[in-house]
Amino acid sequence: MSLLDLLFSNLISQGAIGLIDSAGTKRQYGDGSAPVAVARITDKKTERRITLAPDYHLLEAYTDGTLVMEEGSFHDFLDVCCANVADGGFNPLHKAYQAMGRAFLFWQRWNPMHLAQKRVSHHYDLHENLFKLFLDDDLQYSCAYFQNADDSLEQAQAAKKRHIIAKLDIKDGQSVLDIGCGWGGMALQIARTADVKVLGVTLSKEQLEVARRRAAEAGLADRVRFELLDYRKLSQRFDRIVSVGMFEHVGPPHYRQYFRKVRDLLTDDGVALVHSVGEYDYGSSNPWIQRHIFPGSYTPSLGQVLPAVGKAKLWTTDVEVLRVHYAETLKAWRDRFTTRRAEAAALYDERFCRMWEAYLSACEIGFRRMSLMVFQIQLTKHRYALPLTRDYMLETERRLAEK
């Protein structure tokens, strides 16, 4: 029995997949049912690498084209593997290897200003047309909020913005900061909701250009301003601060600095809302995602984040965990990307498409099978900055939906 055969024999107990090794030998693993997917490995080197670190090299091999799908999809193949890992698969030796890899990647979580923009650019400065292939019309590149199972992606992303805006309790005449503003959708929606001034900051030149264009087209450039700027360089104070999908790029060494800066930038009765991907148990950095998709990224647990909030002398006034909403968001993105894959290949190439498929599939499965989730933390400097109950959130959300 080869090491590869030993790995999959021990790993797959529920569901079924097939694997053809580099010698052409086909084996089936699992519960004896028909395999949902069959993959072929093209060379011995890939076999050795998968055996040593399957969580990294399955994604790498598919990207490189050395793991080829013969039946079914890579998503189906990966889903069965991860379902078994979540059920206790992989042996202690592999878990020790994972721990060593995460320790080695600790330096990548250090995100000083001179590295932050370079790392952001790696992903977010990809061409706008790529993201238009699979995102909603507003280019929301973060977890949507599915109030109903049959909501479209557009409906769920609109609901996400309403949900967050309601938690900010925004009033006319206030100033708002959007840290990591993306292509400007949240900032523009806030300005449509209330008579406020909004500053959106990003480290992506591509996103900045799009956001400024959108503000001008919407007739909101007089109230919504976008800048290429690290939030750490800001000094003015704001009544409200929102950050959606940016905290994952802060890194544990900077958590205390981040929340101290949020405190410094808030007015005395200000409110902040941080929306981030997280883990329900321990924070982690997936090495493959770190290398190919989001350099410097880290998904924290609430247990890692909340102590930094306390040390910054901020009140944690509300915490919400979204469990499967991002899985549904990623499924919608993956379906749209698959439908328009040829356009993505024309923008980049086939290898890029396989990498993007691996990325979207791995992330979706991470939220559906593994320990990933999304949390929203509402913060204030003053205990009386918000109403005593959460009723205002529900009332505002309903009012915005009616509009």
- Of the candidates 16, 98, 109, 9, the residue with the CA atom closest to the CA atom of residue 57: 98
Phi, psi dihedrals of residue 248, rounded to the nearest 5°: -60, -20
Judge contact between 76 and 12, C-beta under 8 A.
no
Residue 169's region, left for phi above 0, alpha for psi from -120 to 50, else beta, is: left
Burial class of 149 by CB neighbour count within 10 A (0 to 12, 13 to 18, 19+): exposed
DSSP state of 195: S
Backbone angles phi, psi at 210, to 5 degrees: -65, -45
Of 82, 143, 181, 363, catalytic: 363
How big is the chain by its Cα radius of gyration, in Å? 22
Task: Give the span between the Cα atoms of 44 and 291, in whole angstroms.
Answer: 23
- Distance, in Å, from the CA atom of 109 to the CA atom of 129, rounded to the nearest integer, reads 29
Longest Cα–Cα distance in the chain:
71
CA 226 distance to own-chain centroid: 22
Q: How far apart are CA 262 and CA 242, in angstroms?
A: 10
Tracing tokens 């997949």 back to the chain, one arrives at 17
Cβ distance 307 to 277 under 8 Å? Answer: no
Residue 81 annotated as catalytic: no
Alpha-carbon distances, residue 355 vs 121, 168, 332 (angstroms): 17, 37, 17
Please tell me the distance from the alpha carbon of residue 262 to that of residue 241, in angstroms, as a whole number.
8
DSSP code at position 367: H
Beta bridge partners of 177: 199, 241
Q: Show which residues are catalytic.
A: 363
